[in-house]
Amino acid sequence: MRASHILVKHQGSRRTASWKDVDGVVIKTRTKAEAINMLMDLRAKISTQEDFAEIAQEHSDCGSARAGGDLGEFGDGQMMQVGG
């Protein structure tokens, strides 16, 4: 299997820094509600056939953003549970 994702961190995230916000300046001020709203907006863009990889590169706080959100290949039971 292969998966891609977009991660938007907020002030309550386990680690309030990312590859593009190393000191967490933006993340530390982003509320959970703001992060959810960002994700809903991104979901709408993706639903209208906009390029997922491009959106991930621009908006994801995960290092996988550099690869368009691509998490690579994995087998059953290898992925972290949602929210984990």
The C-alpha atoms of residue 69 and residue 67 are separated, in whole angstroms, by 5
The C-alpha atoms of residue 82 and residue 84 are separated, in whole angstroms, by 5
Segment among 19-23, 71-75, 78-82 with least mean pLDDT: 78-82
Domain residue limits, the chain: 2-69
Contacts of residue 5, Cβ cutoff 8 Å, sequence gap at least 6: 56, 60, 62, 64, 69, 71
Average pLDDT over residues 60-64: 96
- Which CATH number describes the domain made up of 2-69? 3.10.50.40
pLDDT single digits (tens) 11-55:
999 999 999 999 999 999 999 999 999 999 999 999 988 899 999
Residue 65 CB coordination number (10 Å): 22
Q: What pLDDT is stored for residue 74 in this prediction?
A: 85
Q: Tell me the three state secondary structure of residue 63.
A: helix
